[in-house]
Amino acid sequence: MSTTLSHPNPLSSSSPTSTATMGMSYRRYLSGERIYGCSTCKTHLATIHTMMSRAFNGQHGRAYLFDGVVNVIEGEPDDRPMTTGNHTVRDIYCVKCGTTLGWKYDKAYEPSQKYKEGKYILERNLLVDVQ
């Protein structure tokens, strides 16, 4: 649901999570009982139904693990040591305002952490309840 850029450009409108038509960008809007959005611009990101866990920590405190998100742009892969071992991750940015929201797990090197691959971390302090 997102695109990889050679140099992260958080304000790009070329993400598959938004549709560009004649220079205009259209973001995806989610429906459901609880929608999480960007705290800066309230762009929809994920629903409670795609949340897998609330037991994560990010750079700004508590963080949530999601199976899928929309309206984000992915940065370049980066190998990072984390509390659960080494991972290859990509920072993710809001497609509308460019705020860094968390990261995507590309690869987990510990067998017990493989379930994170392809999943997304959104930091709670960077989210708002849109609905």
The DSSP line for 52-81 is EEEEEEETTEEEEEES---SEEE---EEEE
Q: Is the pTM of this model over 0.95?
A: no
Q: Give me the CATH topology for the region 18-129.
A: 2.170.150
Cα separation, 15 vs 27, in Å, equals 9
Grade residue 9 by pLDDT with cuts at 50, 70 and 90: very low
Q: Rounded mean pLDDT of 47-75?
A: 96
CB burial readout 13-26, b (16+ within 10 A) else e: bebebbeeeeeebe
State the Cα angle at 72 between 79 and 10, rounded to 5°: 80
pLDDT at 37 (0 to 100)? 98
